[in-house]
């Protein structure tokens, strides 16, 4: 099937400006044009553009995606290098997940502390306010 820019945007969930940027940045190789010079895309292009979106969602930079794409264009022989790029990206994502989990634990601890203070089972302590003993001086 052949897709216009707008149809490609609908298929991939990209904005027109975003897809145009990717095309102009050389991230959609072998872009074809119709008889009045408008970009057109086939099913392989659509699949690649969907992959581009996923790679960006993974936090890969445009430069990293270009490197990955250039390796893809080399064919099967570059699979080990592509796997390395994806492994590094996965490791960074896992580190971000771990940081987010730690942040959630902190919020949960604070909420538990506040619940205890509000229920009267925990004495309120602040690291920002002077303690009552300091107020008597």
CATH number at residue 40: 1.10.1660.10
Residue 16 lies in a domain: yes
CA pseudo-torsion sign 105, 54, 16, 73: positive
Q: Is the pTM of this model over 0.75?
A: yes
Q: Tens of pLDDT along 76-124?
A: 999 999 999 999 999 999 999 999 999 999 999 999 999 999 999 999 9
Residue 19 lies in a domain: yes
Residue 45 lies in a domain: yes
- Whole-angstrom distance, CA of residue 107 vs CA of residue 100: 11
Domain that holds residue 51: 5-73
Task: Tell me how many domains the chain contains.
Answer: 1
């Amino acid at each position: 099937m052949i897709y216009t820019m707008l149809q490609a945007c609908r298929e991939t969930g990209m904005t027109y400006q975003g897809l145009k940027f990717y095309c102009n940045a050389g991230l959609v190789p072998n872009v074809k044009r119709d008889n009045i010079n408008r970009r057109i895309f086939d099913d392989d292009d659509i699949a690649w553009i969907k992959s581009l979106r996923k790679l960006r969602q993974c936090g890969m930079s445009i430069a990293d995606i270009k490197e990955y794409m250039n390796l893809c264009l080399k064919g099967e022989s570059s699979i080990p290098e592509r796997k390395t790029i994806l492994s590094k990206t996965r490791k960074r994502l896992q580190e971000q997940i771990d940081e987010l989990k730690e942040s959630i634990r902190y919020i949960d601890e604070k909420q538990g502390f506040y619940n205890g203070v509000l229920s009267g089972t925990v004495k309120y302590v602040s690291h920002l306010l002077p303690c009552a003993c300091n107020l008597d001086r």
